[in-house]
């Protein structure tokens, strides 16, 4: 029997979803679920039944048969279950087997045809649906998927941030691009926002750090891969951890609240925020003054047929700033991005003048 109702789990913070990347055997599924359910924190069990693999010839999931194992998970542990669905047929089979929550994987969110097919198959049902970000860093596709699922009448929609594909080796398997996730969270502040450190990290040693970062940013929960025997997992072995390791990881996370309920704390923060607002106003005024000078220079360059881009001058600006920034406690990376944005805006202003 389930310990809570699905609505309770949906409204609980943090929402913790854990389980293997893939269901492999009945024993592996049941043992993992049993070990996970010993923690009160975990309410939802995940497992991939149909696995979207980047290249053929790899383990593609057990398929329908594993749905019976998940039914046993519910009966034996009281955990709710969630799986990825990528086609209408998979939705049908999942619903037939009483899977509690469905999720759209990142390779599905990227494809409006697939999302629409799933949305049509979901019409009339009231299962909650989680939507992972698309593999590529395009939040419009993510928004589009939310809209399609919402238009199908699904009331409980949640978002999962699993990072974005990036070419070449990076620290992460999928670059978190936190700014995109923050923008999505801003737009859909009412929807549960869940981090998937397993697919962002791709390796065990950075999972805790990614999970903590997400909680620091006010995420509502975590979806994480756990396996009784991670090294032998048939998919995503490097990023899976044992249920015991997961229990420790969850105990070590410092859970934070986005809401400030204490009036004193709120007053102190508000005062500092006012200062920030004044500084932001000043920054904008300075930028506007800077842009007026840029325009004057633009007119002058136009009159004398001088190019907008003066590579030496641009190098000089960067060098001057890089010399100063560290003393001011600003990272080089930030200053380069900041100046680059200002420079591109200046070029646009001058280009407009030249082409007029």
Residues that bind ligand PEP (CB under 6 A): 21, 48, 52, 105-107, 132, 162, 199
Other CB atoms within 10 A of residue 281 CB: 10
- Using CA atoms, how far apart are residues 237 and 25, in angstroms rounded to an integer? 15
| Cα angle for residues 244, 246, 250 (degrees, 5° grid) | 120
Partner touching 74 among ligand PEP, Mn ion, none, CB below 5 to 8 Å by kind? none
Partner touching 106 among ligand PEP, Mn ion, none, CB below 5 to 8 Å by kind? ligand PEP
Nearest-CA neighbor of 91 among 32, 154, 147, 20?
Answer: 154
- Using CA atoms, how far apart are residues 58 and 233, in angstroms rounded to an integer? 12
- Using CA atoms, how far apart are residues 240 and 242, in angstroms rounded to an integer? 7
Partner touching 24 among ligand PEP, Mn ion, none, CB below 5 to 8 Å by kind? none
- Show the tokens assigned to 113: 């045809």
Minimum separation from the CB atom of position 195 to ligand PEP (A): 11
Minimum separation from the CB atom of position 225 to Mn ion (A): 6
End-to-end CA distance of the chain, in Å?
Answer: 72
> Of the ranges 79-87, 174-182, 229-237, 276-284, which one interacts with Mn ion (CB under 5 A)?
229-237
Partner touching 77 among Mn ion, ligand PEP, none, CB below 5 to 8 Å by kind? none
Minimum separation from the CB atom of position 132 to ligand PEP (A): 5
Q: Which residue of 15, 21, 42, 62 would you call a contact of Mn ion, by CB under 5 A?
A: 21
Minimum separation from the CB atom of position 162 to ligand PEP (A): 4
- Please report the sign of the dihedral spanned by the C-alpha atoms of residue 21, residue 23, residue 25, residue 26: positive
Nearest-CA neighbor of 48 among 10, 105, 115?
Answer: 105
Count of positions on this chain that bind Mn ion (CB under 5 A):
2
Q: Does 236 bind Mn ion (CB under 5 A)?
A: yes
> Of the ranges 13-21, 153-161, 291-299, 345-353, which one interacts with Mn ion (CB under 5 A)?
13-21
Cβ proximity to ligand PEP, 208 vs 223, nearer residue:
223
Report the residue number whose CB is nearest to Mn ion.
21
- Show the tokens assigned to 223: 């979806």
Cβ proximity to ligand PEP, 106 vs 346, nearer residue:
106
Phi, psi (rounded to 5 degrees) for 25: -140, 160
Cβ proximity to ligand PEP, 148 vs 199, nearer residue:
199
User: Any idea how long the chain is?
Assistant: 356
Other CB atoms within 10 A of residue 37 CB: 19
Q: Does 49 bind Mn ion (CB under 5 A)?
A: no
Report the residue number whose CB is nearest to ligand PEP.
105
Question: Helix, strand or coil for residue 334?
Answer: helix
Partner touching 162 among ligand PEP, Mn ion, none, CB below 5 to 8 Å by kind? ligand PEP
Contacting positions for Mn ion (CB under 5 A): 21, 236
């Amino acid at each position: 029997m389930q310990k809570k109702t699905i609505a309770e789990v949906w409204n609980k913070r943090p929402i913790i979803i854990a389980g293997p990347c893939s269901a492999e055997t009945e024993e592996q599924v049941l043992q993992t679920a049993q070990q996970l359910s010993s923690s009160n924190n975990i309410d939802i069990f995940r497992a991939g039944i149909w696995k979207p693999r980047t290249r053929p010839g790899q383990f593609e999931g057990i398929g329908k048969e594993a749905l019976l194992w998940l039914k046993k998970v519910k009966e034996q542990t009281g955990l709710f279950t969630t799986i990825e669905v990528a086609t209408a047929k998979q939705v049908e089979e999942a619903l037939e087997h009483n899977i509690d929550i469905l999720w759209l994987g990142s390779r599905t969110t990227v494809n409006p045809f697939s999302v629409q097919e799933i949305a049509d198959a979901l019409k009339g049902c009231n299962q909650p649906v989680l939507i992972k970000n698309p593999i590529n860093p395009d939040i419009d596709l993510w928004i589009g998927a939310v809209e399609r699922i919402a238009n199908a009448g699904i009331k409980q929609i949640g978002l999962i941030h699993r990072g974005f594909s990036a070419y070449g080796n990076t620290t992460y398997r999928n670059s978190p691009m936190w700014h995109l996730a923050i923008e999505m969270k801003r737009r859909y502040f009412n929807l549960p926002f869940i981090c998937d450190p397993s697919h962002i990290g791709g390796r065990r040693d950075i999972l805790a750090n990614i999970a903590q970062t997400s909680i620091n940013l006010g995420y509502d929960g975590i979806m994480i891969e756990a396996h009784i025997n991670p090294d032998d997992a048939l998919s995503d072995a490097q990023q899976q951890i044992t249920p015991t390791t997961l229990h420790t990881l969850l105990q070590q996370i410092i859970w934070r609240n986005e809401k400030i309920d204490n009036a004193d704390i709120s007053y102190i923060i508000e005062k500092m925020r006012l200062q920030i607002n004044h500084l932001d106003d000043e920054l904008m005024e300075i930028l506007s003054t800077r842009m007026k000078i840029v325009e004057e220079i633009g007119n002058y360059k136009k009159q004398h047929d001088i190019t907008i881009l003066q590579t030496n001058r641009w190098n000089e600006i960067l060098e001057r700033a890089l010399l100063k920034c560290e003393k001011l406690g600003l990272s080089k990376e930030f200053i380069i991005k900041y100046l680059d944005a200002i420079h591109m805006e200046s070029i646009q202003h001058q280009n407009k003048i030249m082409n007029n």
